[in-house]
Amino acid sequence: MRPLVDLHGRRIRYVRVSVTDRCNLRCRYCMPDSGIEWVPHDQIMTYEDLYRTLKICIARGVEKVRITGGEPLVRKGIINFIEQLNMISDLSDLSLTTNGILLGPMAHELKQAGLRRVNVSLDTLDKKKFSYITKVDGFDEVIKGIDSALDHGLSPVKINVVAIRGFNDDEIPRFAGLTRTLPVEVRFIELMPIGCITKYPEREGINASEIKDSIELAYGPMVQLKGGLGPAKIYQIPGAQGRIGLIGSLSEHDFCGACNRIRITARGHLRPCLFSEDLVDLFTPLKGGISDQELEGLIEEGVRRKPPSHGICRGMVLVQEGPRTKMSDIGG
Ligand code: SAM
């Protein structure tokens, strides 16, 4: 097997694939509530084309696939797609990122289809604040979704919390405290300049180190555990059942040097880095009937375009005017 290796010597083992740009929430930092131009269905990658692309990536050494969106659970046929991916023998990790709204009723089917684990996004433990930030009254559904995922053995269940000053900074200890009694990993993520956040979030952003201090003030020193290759630094409150992940996407992005992932957007672009606009169009050539060998060449080209680091730094303005970056291009 010839692995996919980028120009900086990093071996690609992880693909995040966005299956839709649509979402059933309107998180304020992520999507505007009006004026969204959804990508027409015929311009979204079909499951067949996604499968073909992922099969080649896996044949070239990708071991992990994460399904994301938009909200992946709103796309029809998602269970079947997961079932098919799960049958690819060299794929060792199949996971999904969801807002949890539809997770309760779907957790059983997802597990049966072969999904191993799930990340659920939840930025507040307060029902009213949930409705404010997401513009939907869905807090109870998400909580049921998390319980259902745990009940059906999707493991580990990770809860993604985007830390936003003035919105949920006061909830950091409470979120962290969940891990004392629940076998979940609560992951705090720094607010990033994507979606509706067009510049480096100087004021609303909270650094991973500040989050750690806030947790340790409440529970005492945490133990650092060995993490994976991903961006999260993993900690545990002594005696806790679960773990805490701190993702310093902006303040501590030394993990770029070990980044092993690429992304495929809902409209079929290979995005070599979350912040990169240097995309490779797979959709048009796939529609034009390219061979597997040609598709493999395009994937290699995308990998070659992977920058050494995301390069986002304080004071940076990503988009001042003009069209907003679309979530379908970003994926989770
Ligand atoms: N709908 C799914 C969900 O809610 O998990 C998957 C897609 S969503 C875009 C993936 C993750 O990106 C969510 O955890 C969301 O909170 C996070 N996200 C969106 N915009 C962000 C931003 N500006 N900074 C940090 N995280 C962001």
pLDDT, tens only, 213-223: 999 999 999 99
Residue 320 pLDDT: 46
Task: Output phi, psi for 135, to 5 deg.
Answer: 60, 20
Residue 27 CA, ligand 1 centroid: distance in Å: 9
Listed residue (289, 327, 286) closest to 45, CA to CA? 286
**243-296, pLDDT tens digit by residue?**
999 999 999 877 899 999 999 999 999 999 999 999 999 999 999 999 999 999
What is the 41 CA–ligand 1 centroid distance (Å)? 22
Q: Which helix (H) or strand (E) holds 255?
A: none
82-101 residue pLDDT tens = 999 999 999 999 999 999 99
Torsion over CA: 190, 194, 197, 200 (sign)? positive
Does the pLDDT of residue 198 top 90, yes or no?
A: no
Instruction: Check residue 33 and give its pLDDT.
Output: 76
- What average pLDDT score do residues 232-238 get? 97
Distance from C-alpha of 295 to C-alpha of 268, rounded to nearest angstrom: 12
Ligand 1 pocket, residues with Cβ under 6 angstroms: 23, 29-30, 68-69, 71, 97-99, 121, 160, 162, 189, 191-192, 194-195, 197, 327, 332
Nearest to 103 by CA among 158, 21, 28, 174: 158
Pick from 114, 8, 6: nearest CA to 60: 6
Q: At CA 205, angle to CA 204 and CA 209, rounded to 5?
A: 140
Q: For residues 289 and 312, which has the higher predicted lDDT (pLDDT)?
A: 289
Instruction: Note whether 272 and 265 are within 8 A (CB).
Output: no
Beta strands in 237-319, from DSSP E residues, in sequence order: 243-247, 261-264, 269-271, 280-281
Instruction: Report how far residue 240's alpha carbon sits from residue 182's, in angstroms, rounded to the nearest whole number.
Output: 8
Average pLDDT over the chain reads: 93
pLDDT for the residue 233: 96
Hey, CA dihedral for 230, 88, 267, 285, is it positive or negative?
Answer: positive
Q: How many residues does the chain have?
A: 332
pTM as predicted: 0.94
Mean pLDDT value of segment 311-331: 53
**Helix ranges (DSSP H) in the chain:** 47-59, 78-86, 103-113, 127-134, 139-151, 172-181, 208-219, 283-287, 292-304, 327-330
Nearest residue (CA) to ligand 1, atom 1? 71
Distance (Å) from CA 291 to ligand 1 centroid: 34
| Helix, coil or strand: residue 130 | helix
Burial state string for 45-75 with b = 16 or more CB within 10 A and e = fewer than 16: bebebbebbbbbbbebbbebbbbbbbbbbbb
Residues 193 and 30: their CA atoms lie apart, in Å, by 10
Tell me: the pLDDT tens digits for 124-162? 999 999 999 999 999 999 999 999 999 999 999 999 999
pLDDT for residue 328 is more than 70? no
pLDDT of residue 319: 54
d(CA 292, ligand 1 centre) in Å: 32
Mean pLDDT over 153-173 rounds to 97
- Whole-number pLDDT of residue 318: 64
Element counts in the chain: helices (H) and strands (E): 10, 12
Query: Ligand 1 centroid to 31 CA: how many Å?
Result: 10
Look up residue 113 and give its amino acid.
A
Exposure string over 104-114, b if 16+ CB within 10 A, otherwise e? bebbeebbebb
Which DSSP category does 263 fall into?
E
Give the per-residue pLDDT at 324: 43
- The minimum-distance atom of ligand 1 relative to the CA of 97 is 5
User: Which residue carries 């650092």 as its tokens?
Assistant: 224
- The yes-or-no verdict on residue 321 having pLDDT over 60 is no
Residue 24 Cα to chain centre, angstroms: 16
Residue 208 is predicted with a pLDDT of 96
